Structure 1
Amino acid sequence: MLAVLSAPRKLLRKAVAVAAFMGLAACDPAMMAGAGGGSGPRVNTNAPIPVALLIPRSDSGAGGIARSLENAARLALASLDGVEIDLRVYDTAGNAQRAAVQAETAVAEGAQIILGPLFGEAANAAGVAVADNGINVLSFSNNPSIAGGNVFILGPTFRNTADRLLRYASRQGRNSVVIVHPQNVEGEFGKTAIQAAAAQNGVRVAAVQSFPFSQQGVASAVPRIRDSIQSSGADSVFLTSTAAGALPMLLQLMPEAGIAPATTQYLGLARWDVPPQILSMPGAQGGYFTLADTAATNAFESRYRARFGSEPHPLAGLAFDGIAAVGALARQGRADALSARALTQNSGFQGANGVFRIRPDGTNERGLAVATVRNNQVTILDPAPSGFGGAGF
């Protein structure tokens, strides 16, 4: 038993070391007042469009991500057809105060839209700093609490993933779920997203089980999770944990405790295909999780490697998406190309990882595939849609 659990427990220990950084990048609570987005400056689509890219270049913990984001933005520039963008890069150092100053500086120097910053608090500060100028901010955060007003988030959201999975699961006859999440900020965000998605898709939340973010916390929660599923009659269990967190232990211990994947549908808010060891976990077999459009992702990564000689960071595609959206709107010849109305067009955009659209509430919706694990291999059950209005939406 101890030997079997050694790998999951090592992964959980790693998660504690990186939890603070991931919390800042993905779930840094902040509030953005106002609604409706910036009206945006009038754009001369026959001239280069000044775009500011705010990234944490000098942040020792995020410099590599910043470099990858800038590379991806420049890769997108080379893909534009008949549109010129004047990309200007500003260093936030991963600091909210500096992000606000740099946003103001960028606008003073002519920027008509801001891409970034990466961290939620910094994006919120940048948005507040330029709100009176009517300038919109396309942040790389995935924190929905900062979305709104002139701040739009490009990062994939828990709500988008939960919607996709529960919509698919309900079509397969699964209509009641137990939510399992760690007692941390990310876990709370995940729980809230699943609850909202369940209500939208007619799925009953039979129970919610949480656990302290520790090895003992996970182990002691498993019997409670089993009893909750049995007593409530739930046909599914939705795990918010990541592969770097509690997911490996849960996928190992839950089936051992009698929560059989053959009868209880496992769902995951995070990807289950990395690292590959996850694919051999008992609880992963037959479970549902999402992936981006694999063809689009492979094409983007191949082009990135060919140009820069390295692998892109998993978040790099967000910078590509921001440039792609601005370029697509400018190509339409619209003087209001950078307004909230234009940015939130219902047809969306083609990005590094497939189709996406920006929502009027400042969040986003991305085309996702539903995947499962069969014989320790990833199998696509329902492909990512190529446009909005298809089966995946």
Structure 2
Amino acid sequence: MLYGCTPKEASSAAKAPLPSVAGRSIAVVGAQPFTPPINNVKLTGLPQTPMLPPKVKGAPVVIKTVRVGLLIPLTGRNAVLGRAMQDAATIALYDKYSNLPMDNDTRVELLPKDTGDAPEQAAQAMNAAIADGAQFIIGPVFADATEVAAPIARANNLSLLSFSNNLASPGQGIYAFGFSPQEQTQRIMDYAIRKGKTRIAALVPNSSLGTTVLATGKAVLAQHQQDFVATAMYAPQGLGIDAAVRQLVPENTMPNFDALLLPEGGAALNTILRTLAAHGVTTKNVQFLGTGIWDDAALVRRVPLDGAWLASSPPESTTMFETRFRKTFNYAPPRVASLAYDAVSLAVTLATTGRGFDGATLIQHSGFTGPANGMFRLHGDGKTERGLAVLQIDGTVFNVIAPPPTAFSAE
């Protein structure tokens, strides 16, 4: 599963053509092909065949081809999400190749493979990518599919970059590239404490996400010789929220906390905020603290979170990616699609500079810069460290109130 990255239904609007790269032609063959009316672009399609980068007219003959598996759900209940991931991967190929030197002699082929809904489909997709010569694996999207694909990758000495953030056995070449609720919680709690918030409460779902966020918050507070002044849990989908809020603010009392950690972004959020307001807890008298779940323009348009703080990627980079995607495909990408854009960009960078995909390369101390989500560093234990900003929600705008670090600290 993905914490904070719930697949959203994408628009079924017709696709707009990818912009052409000057002097280049491209053949992209996707698992769900489309054919834009553009003269120098050829998009054809037998299912699950390579997605190829632009070819440069007059450039040297390609002497090296690097194949990268892209394991995504292209059928089943998450097919819409998978298609968005594939679309993000496609524009990553265009964008990276449009900025490479004209004498580049390496071609990266993306091999889209359908992980469907069942774990055995993920195993089939993994084996198909290997059979087609994949040297690096991007995906799967979800933890259960990744747990099936991971041992196959290890057995074949392949590094795998999963979009999940909730892996049971990362490491040994398997990396959890998804947005980490632990890291986001640590960043926002550290910032709140530095800003003088000394009485922090937590209202979290009774789920693996809620348990993770609560434990991380407690650990951060313990580092500052503090603890939550109050905590409460509610059932998923907001069930039992009234009783949970009464634990935080008993009847006929006022809130005794100056900040509230609230890692909720689903349909229940509106109900939770209304219930809190009925007990005297609003963004006007309590500082709301959130994770990247709130980094969603559609969400902040429909719920009252004005003034809330959250930890997430630098918004400038994310906005540039989303604008690029929307102009190209005529629909808004789900937030997690930005990870596909960054992952494919990383793969092209490593392939075209000849560095390969072994552990020593991937876990380099300085890390990498993702064009959609900013700097990140992979660790040998399979975790991904990100350079997170702290954002404040002002109406429907995300403003940076604490920038991300400019470099990673020594380990």
Following superposition, the deviation at residue 149 of structure 1 comes to 2.7
Following superposition, the deviation at residue 185 of structure 1 comes to 3.2
Structure-1 residue corresponding to 2:118:
95
Structure-2 residue corresponding to 1:349:
368
Following superposition, the deviation at residue 257 of structure 1 comes to 1.0
Structure-1 residue corresponding to 2:387:
367
Alignment CA distance shift 1:147-1:267 (3 Å):
same
Structure-2 residue corresponding to 1:125:
148
Structure-1 residue corresponding to 2:278:
256
Q: Which runs of 5+ in 2 are unaligned?
A: 8-61
Instruction: Please say if residues 293 and 353 of structure 1, whose CA atoms lie closer than 8 Å, have aligned partners that are also in contact.
Output: yes
Following superposition, the deviation at residue 327 of structure 1 comes to 2.3
Alignment CA distance shift 1:26-1:256 (3 Å):
closer
Instruction: Please say if residues 2 and 164 of structure 2, whose CA atoms lie closer than 8 Å, have aligned partners that are also in contact.
Output: no
Structure-2 residue corresponding to 1:73:
89
Structure-1 residue corresponding to 2:20:
none
Following superposition, the deviation at residue 360 of structure 1 comes to 2.5
CA distance in 2, matches of 1:92, 1:216: 33
Corresponding residue pairs, total: 345
Structure-2 residue corresponding to 1:185:
208
Structure-1 residue corresponding to 2:298:
274
Amino acid in the other structure paired with 1:382: I
Structure-1 residue corresponding to 2:336:
315
Following superposition, the deviation at residue 49 of structure 1 comes to 1.2
Following superposition, the deviation at residue 114 of structure 1 comes to 0.7
Aligned pair partner of 1:48 in 46, 50, 65: 65
Aligned pair partner of 1:236 in 224, 235, 259: 259
Name the SS for the 1:355 alignment partner: strand
Instruction: Please say if residues 24 and 120 of structure 1, whose CA atoms lie closer than 8 Å, have aligned partners that are also in contact.
Output: no
Structure-2 residue corresponding to 1:37:
none
CA distance in 1, matches of 2:358, 2:221: 32
Following superposition, the deviation at residue 338 of structure 1 comes to 0.6
Instruction: Please say if residues 143 and 167 of structure 2, whose CA atoms lie closer than 8 Å, have aligned partners that are also in contact.
Output: no
> Share of identical aligned residues, percent?
28
Structure-1 residue corresponding to 2:180:
157
2:154 counterpart of 1:134: no
Instruction: Please say if residues 324 and 349 of structure 1, whose CA atoms lie closer than 8 Å, have aligned partners that are also in contact.
Output: no
Aligned pair partner of 2:358 in 317, 324, 339: 339
Map Cα deviations across residues 175-233 of structure 1 (whole Å, 9 max, x no partner): 442221122333223323433444456653334311223555011211111249x8996
Map Cα deviations across residues 19-60 of structure 1 (whole Å, 9 max, x no partner): xx8789769xxxxxxxxxxxxxxxxx962211111111112x
CA distance in 2, matches of 1:195, 1:137: 32
Name the SS for the 2:133 alignment partner: coil
Instruction: Please say if residues 206 and 232 of structure 1, whose CA atoms lie closer than 8 Å, have aligned partners that are also in contact.
Output: no
Alignment CA distance shift 1:67-1:385 (3 Å):
same
Name the SS for the 1:84 alignment partner: strand
Structure-2 residue corresponding to 1:111:
134
Greater mean alpha carbon deviation, residues 211-220 or residues 160-169 = 211-220
CA distance in 1, matches of 2:240, 2:116: 35
Instruction: Please say if residues 175 and 204 of structure 1, whose CA atoms lie closer than 8 Å, have aligned partners that are also in contact.
Output: no
Amino acid in the other structure paired with 2:362: L
Name the SS for the 1:90 alignment partner: strand
Structure-2 residue corresponding to 1:39:
none
Amino acid in the other structure paired with 1:329: L
Structure-2 residue corresponding to 1:385:
404
Higher relative contact order (CA 8 A, sep 6+): 1
Instruction: Please say if residues 177 and 236 of structure 1, whose CA atoms lie closer than 8 Å, have aligned partners that are also in contact.
Output: yes
CA distance in 2, matches of 1:312, 1:214: 24
Map Cα deviations across residues 334-390 of structure 1 (whole Å, 9 max, x no partner): 2xx31122112232222222222223221212333322244x343524254373249
Greater mean alpha carbon deviation, residues 346-355 or residues 65-74 = 346-355
Name the SS for the 2:110 alignment partner: strand
2:247 counterpart of 1:224: yes
CA distance in 1, matches of 2:346, 2:250: 48
CA distance in 1, matches of 2:302, 2:399: 16
How high is the TM-score relative to the length of structure 2?
A: 0.74
Amino acid in the other structure paired with 2:72: I
CA distance in 1, matches of 2:282, 2:320: 37
2:171 counterpart of 1:148: yes
Name the SS for the 1:48 alignment partner: strand
Alignment CA distance shift 1:22-1:47 (3 Å):
closer
Alignment CA distance shift 1:71-1:226 (3 Å):
same
Compare CA radii of gyration and give the structure with the larger one.
2
Name the SS for the 1:190 alignment partner: helix
Map Cα deviations across residues 61-111 of structure 1 (whole Å, 9 max, x no partner): 111111111111121112142452121111111321121232123223321
Instruction: Please say if residues 254 and 280 of structure 2, whose CA atoms lie closer than 8 Å, have aligned partners that are also in contact.
Output: no
Instruction: Please say if residues 5 and 336 of structure 2, whose CA atoms lie closer than 8 Å, have aligned partners that are also in contact.
Output: no
Amino acid in the other structure paired with 1:340: G
The correspondence of residues 9-20 of structure 1 with structure 2, limited to 5 A, is none
Alignment CA distance shift 1:139-1:173 (3 Å):
same
How high is the TM-score relative to the length of structure 1?
A: 0.77
